Amino acid sequence: MDDGSRGCVLGREDGEASWFLDTRMTVEAGAVQTRGAWALLEWSAPRGFGPPRHVHTAEDEAFYVLEGELVAECGERRMTAGPGDFVFLPCGVPHVFVVSAGPLRALQLTSPAGFEDFVAEIGRPPTGPGLPEPSAPDVPRLVEVGSRHGAGIVGPPLPLPEG
């Protein structure tokens, strides 16, 4: 990838992939390509995946769902999103989500860029295609690294809806 100053194109297999928690995140464009304006990631996650309730102090976060379904809470609002739906989670508002039908495949846009650095620091290079084996998150490390990247944990993950 270049710095985006002359535009850029990224092929299907060209993004930087990481196993991030129980997901696969692929950075399609980040701060380098967008001059810090935004980051676009393609990600997939298994049913039941969800991060702890958290708040971003630096960036807005949005998802465009390609496959699967997620339930999100943003402040006091609860939302369900499936294929073709867009979810916006504004900076400064605590939010949480869980993959309610999966696997989920979605595009994630954060503005300004920077979330991709958090993914790189917490994640690890994939050792194969698909998703990693499920594992318990290292919460103290998430708290420590998140604090440096403007993402504070403020509560537990969202449980799967009943039914």
Q: pLDDT tens across 130-139, in order?
A: 999 998 888 8
Please tell me which residue, 69 or 15, carries the higher pLDDT value: 69
| pLDDT 10s digits, 74-99 | 999 999 999 999 999 999 999 999 99
pLDDT digits (tens, 9 = 90+) for 27-57: 999 999 899 999 999 999 999 999 999 999 9
DSSP sequence for 104-134: EEEEEEEESS-HHHHHHHH-B--SSSSPPPP
Is residue 91 a contact partner of residue 60, using CB atoms and an 8 Å limit? yes
Can you tell me which residue has the tokens 């393609």?
Answer: 42
Q: Which domains does the chain have, with CATH numbers?
A: 16-127+134-155 (2.60.120.10)
Q: pLDDT by residue (tens digit) across 97-118? A: 999 998 999 999 999 999 999 9
Whole-number pLDDT of residue 24 = 97
Quickly state the pLDDT bin for 122 (edges 50, 70, 90): very high
pLDDT of residue 5: 73
Residue 78 burial by CB count (10 A; 0-12/13-18/19+): exposed, middle or buried? Answer: exposed
Q: Which of 86, 116, 119, 107 is nearest to 42 (CA)?
A: 107
Please give the C-alpha separations between residue 120 and each of 17, 27, 36, 48, 114, in angstroms, as whole numbers.
9, 9, 16, 23, 10
